[in-house]
Structure 1
Amino acid sequence: MPHPSFLNRHALHLRPDPARVVVRAFRPSVEPRDYNPLDKTRANHIVDRVLALDVAEAEAVLAATLDNFDDRHRNLPAIFEQRAQEMEDAFSSHCCFTPTQLQLVGAYFLHEYSFEAAALFNPSIVPHPNQSGVAPGAIRFILSLRAVGEGHISSLTFRCGTFLADGTLMIEPPTRLASLPRVTMRVGDKLDLAFEADSDITERVIFPVTEAQANGIEDARFVPFIEEGQTTYYATYTAYSGQAIRSELIETSDFLTFRLTPLKGPAAVNKGMALFPRRIGGRYAMIARHDNESLHLVYSDNLLEWGLGTPILTPEFPWEFIQIGNCGSPIELDEGWLLLTHGVGPVRHYSIGAVLLDKDDPTRVLGRSHLPLVQPEKSTREGYVPNVVYSCGAMRHGAWIILPYAISDTFSTVATVKIDSLLAMLAPAYR
């Protein structure tokens, strides 16, 4: 391992908080043994019971519900009404509702979900689009994190922080509230999402919407992509249906509105794709792992269709004999493309390493770490999945690399390292 002073491990632990909740759609199921196509559904029965309440009782139930939950969510009455409107198939025998009845019906078809109760891990980091008011030599950043709640369902959440010129790193606490976006466009599995304009970024949670995402939006690798002076933030992530996986793409310019699109082609059927921050030779480029153990360079002319590419890295050292993968998008340096990697060794022990790729021809490996840069420590390796350190993306700022990473698929922390020190660890590649 490198000398202990090689990495500056900051005393920041981002741990899951079960108090952070969103409201999700809930619809009671019908037991197969009880099903009769001539009967009303359970949803119809619930609506009938609500409408049978007299005016005073309905108002009292709604007031008590709002008193119990309103301080935990943004604009809960509107959420109730929106959910009721989504349940119109249960209202077929009813012509109209009072505002109280509409909100109360909506409340019965929602439930709270603690989206990060189990884990908060696999972070990536990018510069914040708004750098106004930042001190000289400092940078404001956004962390994306994979949050896991009940049923091992993964969603995407955010934190903000600042890295100061003296090497101090601060992460702001999240807001108490959390909210889901509106779906503003849906064509097949292609989605446009929008959050409330006055919401804080730490409040925003991107939760699975499509069937392909039903069990998780996993391991988003964000990167600022610069073209013609404009910056677009892209992130590849794994959509998990509960049975199958595929790679999908997030696009945003402001972290307020997002577009989610499935990727296509043979390289997109696996996980762990990471986009280069600019075109190479006029084409989009990704690091991918479609053979489950090695890293490949793949290209696309349209950002969405990805064929098979050129193998550039295979497992070579004992700490990566099982497989290797990327730890986020390549970072452009004067010396080449810095690619952080992960390797899996004995007893499924995950470590983080690095390679340096040629800037013009990223299939050429210029240097490679023979030993891990970061690996699980005995004092912190216990967790949801023990013996794992993992990152979905680091960031350069001046002479520093800022590396957020997760520990044991449970919580996240951050380390920083000087670029010169990191490059000195990369032995020349003999190829």
Structure 2
Amino acid sequence: MNKAIKVGINRIEFSTTENYLTLEKLAEAHQIDPAKYLYGIGQSKMAVPTPDEDTISIAANAAQDVLNTMTPEEVNTISTLIFATETGVDQSKSGAAYLMGLIDIHPNCRAFEVKQACYGGTAGLQMACDMVRARPDESVLVVACDIARYQQNTPGECTQGAGAVAMLITADPDIIEIDAERGCYSADIMDFWRPNQFKHALVDGELSKDAYLNVMTSSYQGYLVNGGKPLDQLEWLCFHQPFTKMAKKAFEHLSAQYPEQMADKTDAAYSISQQYGREIGNTYTASLYIGLLSLLDNAEQDLTGQTIGFFSYGSGAVGEFFSGTVNKNYRHAINTLANQQKLAARTALSYDTYCQYMYQLRDYDQANIRYNPTSGSNFRLAAIHDNKRVYERVLEPMSKAA
């Protein structure tokens, strides 16, 4: 592996649903103090998919947004499409294969899906970085998308969300160079899982919080052993956010363990990366990278040349600590105004409509069913016909991809 080649994120786009539920409305329905959600877990809204939205349609929006920024020649350099999710739509056919039929990408590339709870997005990113280090003339499109869904009227319901991130990994990236040094830690922990026969996740909340923090410590220690930078050389920190309060717990945990390295850091070192997640909810594999985009979009100062420390966690469990340095061209390569408008233009749902969308109309266990256009999105799940998922593309394909 050639560490001298600069490799990282050249383009990054996100997508989420056009509808959301406020946590105040959920608290009212649960007959509890809204502060338990707004401050207790740090969430204000949760993205809610319509019945004709799933991980494929949401992911396609983010992926197509990346492709829309590329020339035909740049699109032709894509050698691999990696789709990361823990809410896949098929036990055999990958989500990447469905995406190949929807977005403007040439067919002469490999396409596959990766799964390890919320860590899948990072698995895809690091795999892509290693691929490009080996073949710097090629690029890799990494798409991470999930819909977090828990059983109704359970503690996990308030952490639901939906969203996707698409990242183009290249040599000499415009946004952020990912360092080759990394620290990983894996263990068999039953903190979060979803058996095949279940439509919602099962979680041991307290065990999961402890596992997150313990795996983070071990991953950071491995990162240092492998030549990584100490915390006092990382200007910013992005943590996996199953809910935004967890990032605060992670920051406080590192501060307690490494007080000298963290002495000069204020809450701003991690809290700017929480802004989008607070408005969207948990997006599993996309969560860490929506946090990165939140930091890039919302930091008032120029981040050029500054280093970000990342911690990725996937229950079950796998963790990874790594870092990256922001490129001078990053502001020209991200669509800050469009990102902010995506969140501002969404529609608030009533609690009853939320229940219909999330629980009453989302059961895809019928062999034949057709879904009315509800989302207003560029891509949608139109039907299930003879147990085959049928997707529709609303926007016209780009002429340059013809």
Aligning the two structures, in what range does the TM-score lie when normalised by the shorter sequence? under 0.3
Richer in strand (by share): 1
Structure with more contact order per residue of length (Cα contacts < 8 Å, sep ≥ 6): 2
* TM-score when normalising by structure 2: 0.26
